Structures are given as structure tokens and as C-alpha cells.
Chain A
Amino acid sequence: MNDNMKYANQIAVVKQECPEADEGEIGKEFARYESDFLIPPEDALRSVIRKFQAATGVEVSTNAATATPVREEKKVQRFSELGADDRNVTIEVAVISYTPRTQMVRGEEKRIAFGWIEDNPWEASSERIRWDYKDWGNKGETMTPGSVVRLEGASVNEWNDKRSININRTTRVTVLKEGGGSAPPAGSEPLTIARASEVEGFVSIVGRVLSAKPDVIVRKDGSGEIPIVRGKISDSSGSIGFLSWKEFEHEIGALVKIVGASVRKFRETPEIQINDGTVIEAYHDTSFPEVSELVESEKVSIADLRNGMRDVAITLQIESWAQRTFEAQDGNSRVVRSGDVMDPTGRCRLTAWCDFDPKPGDSIRVEGGRVQFWQGSPDLVIDNVDQVSSLSDAPWEKIDPENHWVEVDLTSITQGGSRRGISTTGTIVAINSGSGIIERCPDCRRMLRDGSCSEHGSQRGEEDLRLRFVLDNGVSNANLFLGKEPAEKFLGMNMEDVKSEISSIGKETFVSNLRSRVLARKMAVHGRCAIDGQGAMLFADRVEIVEPKPAEEAEEVMQRWEVSL
């Protein structure tokens, strides 16, 4: 094989750096490195370029303005040691992410990649500094997320006062530690969609396309729109939404294998991102479930809703409905309709940005809805009236909204998502501070501390009544909040009475009396729950003390564990 053909890629790179050099000479040089020093052309690239730069005087002629000689290697441990115009930098870094992208550079399509790297890679992440980087040199093979690499010949780029690292074609990347992070590297065995939803990073999956719709993302800076494709892909373990940054030509129902897509979380919902580096190919498996089967298992109920979900198909019963007109930012008036909806697993809010006017008690079917959060609970949104259809037959026995509480075990609550219309029980193990009469900021309703709001400063507070407990079942616990009305109902006195009682017996005695009334007692709670990284919060509409029935409880537990006396 002719050296020039064998080394065509490398020669092109050298030619870019040293246009004067002769292709034949370059090819010979690569052949010499490979045969004499056993150095493959990729690794010889730097040396060859340097040689021809020196030989052809390119360095001087093309970079005359900056008159930069070949720089001394600058070896550093930390990003902080780098200056804004450092070139030929050697540093060891941890690769956090690698996102390939095709970009037009001077009218030419180029494959580049960007991502994050961290210095001090052998220490805990709290000891590290993270920088952006751009890979101009196609180092995807070695720059795998989770790995630790040594970069030789990288350069610092400064733009808008922010520094980043450029990895050039001539940069040598040496893997010091293979990436063995949470996500397997691209190209590995496909995961089930349920498993892929739990990881973050690059995955491969096999699934059937349930939906695919073109969409656009509007750049925040107003510089235009990016065309994308959104859809959903499913296997027998579950389904996951996808977002493709490149063309997606597979039809609904197609069975595909997606290799090297990244899983990211949008709010609380995992999503597969398909980018330039992702390979999608048709897959053949006659035993793979058909669309109809997958769609059937795809149906969700209110209990399954999570913030950020898209393409939701669900059956609901309307509890209440109202519309409201408001003035949008552009000055036009807009109408939004919303109400409460129920299913056997609970209730939530439904918002319609379209002409949809159901009556309470109607049964409806929503397709392609999306979920956002409203006051900490899921809010199902439809944007187009085509997304909803009326069901003539109720899918379940009509739910009585006055008495629709879904009993959920406290542990399931803490492990699930935020939802409304639930009831649960547990034992009160603490009365938290701030129980009783508090003062709220008239502007933001935050509780005042020493007459001052954390947002609005010193304020003349508005009095309010509130009780805060901790509900616990021995395995899980949740903060329980009773606002004014449920608290008045539970205490059996109105806020004024509570106020005068506290002023006569003192706050400590009030809390002490409350403690002897509720501590170690079982309490049934009806209301809604909100779950976040801090744990579960229950907002009660109503609570009641559960009177102990030890004999019945004992029988039940003995039966559960097959114990007899």
C-alpha cells in the first residue's frame, strides 16, 4: 500500500498545519515512525508535524503575527496553574462527559466534541476543579466518561473571561485509568429500558419506537431554533422518552438498537439523548412485543406521574373545571382552563391550553399529555384539543370526589412521587418547632423569624396557625404539616382560642400538652404529599388520631408472621 494512502488522514492533518510540506515526504516520515520506532501514525502525528514545521518554516510564516516558537511543555497538576495563553500543556484529568457534535467550521463539516474534565483526578471530586473542554481531534475513543487521562499538548482557551481546554489533533491522550463509572461505555451490551432509566451516562438499548415527532428548541439567546425529534421508545421493561439532536428516520413501530446514547434527567424524568455519536440501527427479533402490547402496558395512572414526563396517555374523571383569562406578556389576553381530575390511584390537576370544556363527572382519555409541577404536585398539561377524547362509558365505577382518598403506605409515599388525594397512617414521633401561632410575611407568606422575613426584611406579620409533626412507621418518616383549617379542626378550637390559650399557659405548656396528646399515637392523614431530595412532606387536609385496637392489631400481625400462642 502506498504510504500516502495508508496515512491519508494523518497527512491531511499535517498538511493543515504545514501547507508547504510535500505529501510524499510526510507519508515517508509516518512510515519511518511506524517501521523503525513501532509508533503508530496517530501517536507519531505530533513529532511529524513538529519536524515539518521546522523544516518548512511554516511556524514562522503562518504564525508570524504572534511569532510563537514551539512552546516548551508546561506540566501542571491543577487548572489554577494555567495561564490564559498556555499551549502545549500536560495535565492529568478525569473525564466527566463527552458529547460529540458535528459543527461547521469555516464552511467545512467537522466532528468535534465537548464536555467536562476535572483536574486533580486522583482525589475526591470535592477537591477538583471542573473545566469545559473541546475536542478538535476526534479523541472519542480515549476520552470516555469516568476515565482518567493524561493530556499532552493541550491548550488553554479563554473566551468571555472563562477558560477552557482545547484538545487538538496533535494532543496526545493517554488513558491512565479506564472509565468504569456508573454507565457502561457505548457499544456494550444493551440494557433494558428500566435499567437504562436508572443510570446516567452512555447506554445502549433495544426498543420499539412508540412515537416520534419533530420539534424545535428555541435558543435562549434568541439566536435561532434547533430542530430536534422527540419521541418515546419502549420494551417489555418500560419506556423512556428520547430527544434526538440529529435526524431520526425510524417509523413508529420500528424495532431499533440505539448504541451510545446518553441518559439524562429532565426534572425527575430520565430521557435518552441521541446525538451525532449515537448509532441507530434496525434490529430484528420476532419475539419482541408488538406496539399494541407495549402501548397497553404503557398506560399510566395518576400515581405514576412525575415532573417532566411527556407523551402521557391516561384515563381520568373530571372533578371540577374552570377557566380564567389573563394578560400574557405580549399584551394579548389568553384563556387557560384547568381543574381537578381523579382516577382510582388519586387525584391531580389538569391544565388545558386549548378549547376544552368538560363537565364534572365526565370520563376522558388524554394522549400525549405532559407533566409539570404546580405547588409541588403533578399538573397534567394538554396543549391541543386533539390530545383529549371523551369516553362515553366510565372506565371505572364513578368516583365520589367527596370521599376519594387512596390509601398509601407511608413507605410507598416516601419512595414514590408527589401526589394528591392520598391517605396514610403512621405514629407521631416529634412535634417540630413552629407549631402553634406563627407570623407570616404579608408579601410572600414565609414565616417571620424575630419579626423579619428572609426575603422582605422587617415586616408587620400576619398571624397564622400551623402544626408540624413527624409521622413515622418504623421504616420511613415524613414531615406532616397542618395548615390553619386542619389544625383548628384537629385541636377542636379556632385560631383565636388557640391564641388566648397560648397567651395564658405559655407556648411551652401548649406544646407539652400537644405532645401528651399526639406523641406515640397513630394518626391517619388525608391530604397530599410532596417528595424532594430532602424527603417527604405531607400536607394534611384532615387528620385524626387512630384509637388503638391492640387485640385486632395483634391478631393481624400474628397472622402475617404465622405466630400462634
Chain B
Amino acid sequence: MGGVTLIAESGTRRGRQSAIRIFAQEYSESSLIERGVGEFDPSFVITKLGAKVNRCLVCGGLERMERRDGDSGPFYRGQIRDPSGTHYFDVAPFQPELHPDAEELLARFETGDSILVSIVGRQKSNESEDGGIFTSIRAESFTEIDLGSYKSWMVEAADATLRRLDAYAASQGAELTEEGFRNAGIPEDLVAGLMKAREHYSEFDTEAYKVWILKAFSRALGRTEESSEVSINSDSGLVEKAPIQATESADPRDVILGFLTSNRGDMVEYDSLVGACTSAGSSREEAEDAIEHLKDVTKEISEPRFGFFSVSS
């Protein structure tokens, strides 16, 4: 009778957590961690859009890879870049079965080849002294993939992000209860996470998400100049030299130079330059890197007044 089933249900092993398809930006913006109570309870990173990430499937261009030696043995650290930003991952010392593959990937990376990687991993988060949350991924398995698979993943991740954006929009008008969310048509797998996200995060603008979703689509459709793919398929070593530029569709440096030139030497504010880049499809981080690069490395632009830029004469 009743009691027996209850016990059986609570005693049932949890099912495996599905791998959330997620772009780097959504994951890295997360600051809400739900830690499992019991020893075998899963922990989650809960994103602003309500994705409860315990396991994820991410792809991108390998931007950095290194081996380090820690107290408990060697481990590996790396970064992969997708249209939205960077995922940080590591291969832990207690995963020796992955070390041969990690070693191989490292060797490939060190030759300067541009490599596309797919990673299945578990959420990981560290809290800094000032309370900041840094999310990363502990790889469970990874492999090099071809361009077609990468594009296909971008479409899946875009699909999953749009689904969450849709649920987020639906949650705006809904009563803040699980029942209210269900009535608003929010899919079952997002109800709990979205509820916690709405309670934790303040209101935010979802437009930024759409920028990299569109970027992902245009890459998948092959509509943009395939600068990323060109660099990725060539052995030019572009990735290492200028990783930011290498994976971008519209080079933020060109955007900045074009913008300043069209202003005929008039000074332009820092934020306007960043804005121009982001509306051209770059992330804020990339825009900032590009400004720094043009100012300090190539010296094509100068900063006559703090925060205002013009083309170097």
C-alpha cells in the first residue's frame, strides 16, 4: 500500500543527469549553485535562464591547453571558445583513464593546429574570497570533432537556449509557483531551475543571448565569412596568435577601425566602440580585447583622452 511505494520511490537510485547543451556565456554568467545534500545527490549550476546544469555537452575551438602538476598528481586545464565566449575545463588527477587522451590533445594543441573539441563534463564551481562564483567543467570525456559536428552542436545549443529563453519569457507573466509555471507551459525539466533562477537573479536583458544565437545560426548556415573555420582548418597557427579574432565572424578590430575612420578623426567613447562591436556580433570581452590590441600592440588607435579613442595619425 501507500507506504511501501513511498519508501521504494525515495530509495530508488537517481537517474543519470542529461547533458545540457549550453553556450559558454550563459554558463559563465551563473552565480547560483545548488549543492546536493546527500553524498550521492547531484549538485547543479543554475543559469539565469533556469538551466540546471549537472552535466553538459559543449563544443568549441581549443584555445588553451596545458598540463599542471598538483599535490595529487598531474592534471590538465584548457579553454574552448564558442560563438558566445569561453568554457574553462579540466581533467582531474583522479581521472587517469583520460590522461592519455588529454596528453594527445595537448600534443596536437602544441603543434599549433587549430582543433575543434567536444566535451562532456560535470559542473564545477569555485567561490572567490569576495564571493564571486567561477564556473568550469570537469571533463568526463572529450574528443576532437569535425566542422560539421561542431556546426550541428551550435544549432542544438541554440535550440536549447531558445527553448530556455521561451520558458524565461513565459515565466515573467506566471505566478511564482511550480503550479503557476506549469500552467504557463514551462517544460517540466525547466520548472524547478527557472523558479530558483527567478528568485536568485535580478532582471536582466535577454537581447545579448540572441546576439550569439544568431551568430551560431549564421555559422551553421555558412553565411558568414568563415574566418573561424578558415583558421581552424589551416595550419597557420592563427588560433594561438590571435584566438579572439580567429573565432569571430566580424573582426572587432575592423569594426573599430571602420567606426573611427568614419568619424573622421573625431574621438569616440569607449562604450560606443564596444557597442559597435557587440552589435556586429562580437562579445563584450572580445571587443575590449580588440581595443586593447589596437591601442597597445599594433598602435593603430590612440587614446588622447581617458576613455576616448581616435585613429592614430
Contact = CB atoms under 8 A, between A and B. Distances in A.
B162 A557 contact: yes
- A interface SS class: mixed
B18 A508 contact: no
Q: Tell me the dominant secondary structure on chain B's binding face.
A: helix
Contacts of A535: 15-16
A127 B12 CA distance: 17
B118 A125 contact: no
Contacts of A534: 12-13, 15
Contacts of B21: 474
A182 B2 contact: yes
Given A430-B120, A550-B152, A565-B223, A515 B141 contact: yes
A563 B162 contact: yes
Nearest to B154: A550
B217 interface: yes
B57 A563 contact: no
B143 A515 contact: yes
A554 interface: yes
B140 interface: yes
A515 B153 CA distance: 17
B120 to A, nearest CB: 5
A520 B120 contact: yes
Contacts of B19: 427, 429, 472, 474, 477
A4 B210 CA distance: 84
A544 to B, nearest CB: 15
Interface in A531-565: 533-535, 547-551, 553-555, 557-558, 560-561, 563, 565
Contacts of A200: 1-2, 5
Contacts of A265: 5
Contacts of B292: none
Given A551-B220, A563-B214, A116 B1 contact: yes
Interface string B104-115: 000000000000
Contacts of B221: 550-551, 554-555, 565
Given A515-B143, A548-B151, A557-B162, A474 B20 contact: yes
Interface residues on A, range: 35 or more
B192 interface: no
Interface in B12-57: 12-13, 15-16, 18-21, 55, 57
A146 B1 CA distance: 12
B149 A548 contact: yes
Contacts of B3: 96-97, 116, 118, 125, 130
Nearest to B149: A548
A96 B159 CA distance: 46
Contacts of A182: 2
Nearest to A201: B2
B2 A521 contact: no
A475 interface: yes
Size category, B interface: 35 or more
A177 B152 CA distance: 57
Interface in B276-306: none
A476 interface: yes
Given A125-B6, A200-B2, A429 B120 contact: yes
A490 B222 CA distance: 31
Q: In the complex, which of the residues A99, A533, A557 has the most CB atoms of chain B within 10 Å of its own CB atom?
A: A557
B220 A550 contact: yes
B213 interface: yes
B166 interface: yes
B140 A430 contact: yes
A473 interface: yes
A418 B2 CA distance: 24
B159 A557 contact: yes
Q: Which of B8, B18, B163 is most buried by chain A, counting CB atoms within 10 A of its CB?
A: B18
Contacts of A58: none
B244 to A, nearest CB: 23
Nearest to B189: A475
A423 to B, nearest CB: 19
Given A519-B143, A520-B153, A96 B1 contact: yes
A515 B163 CA distance: 29
B220 A520 contact: no
B1 A551 contact: no
A547 B118 contact: no
B144 interface: yes
Nearest to B51: A474
Interface in A400-427: 427
Nearest to A554: B220
A565 B218 contact: yes
A125 B7 contact: yes
B158 interface: yes
A475 B188 CA distance: 10
A540 B159 CA distance: 27
A565 to B, nearest CB: 6
A160 interface: no
A475 B18 contact: yes
Contacts of A533: 8, 12-13
B59 interface: yes
Contacts of B142: 519
Contacts of B13: 533-534
B100 A548 contact: no
A219 to B, nearest CB: 20
Contacts of B143: 515-516, 519-520
Interface in B114-138: 118, 120
Contacts of B213: 563
A551 B214 CA distance: 13
A183 interface: yes
A526 interface: no
B15 A563 contact: no
B260 interface: no
B141 A474 contact: no
Contacts of B6: 125
B160 interface: yes
Identify which of A115, A431, A550, A551 gathers the most chain B CB atoms within 10 Å of its CB: A550
Contacts of A555: 221
A476 B16 CA distance: 9
B148 interface: yes
A502 B187 CA distance: 44
Given A97-B3, A519-B141, A550 B162 contact: no
A473 B57 contact: no
A217 B223 CA distance: 71
Given A118-B3, A470-B16, 16 more contacts: A201-B1, A430-B140, A430-B141, A474-B18, A474-B19, A512-B100, A516-B143, A520-B59, A520-B143, A522-B152, A547-B148, A551-B222, A553-B152, A554-B151, A554-B221, A557-B162
15 contacts: A200-B1, A264-B1, A427-B57, A474-B160, A475-B187, A475-B189, A477-B15, A519-B143, A547-B148, A550-B154, A557-B217, A558-B217, A560-B159, A561-B163, A563-B162
Interface of A: 96-97, 99, 115-116, 118, 125, 130, 145-146, 181-183, 200-201, 262, 264-265, 427, 429-431, 470, 472-477, 508, 512, 515-516, 519-522, 533-535, 547-551, 553-555, 557-558, 560-561, 563, 565
List the 7 closest pairs (A to B, CB-CB), nearest first: A550-B151, A520-B118, A548-B152, A554-B220, A96-B3, A548-B148, A550-B220
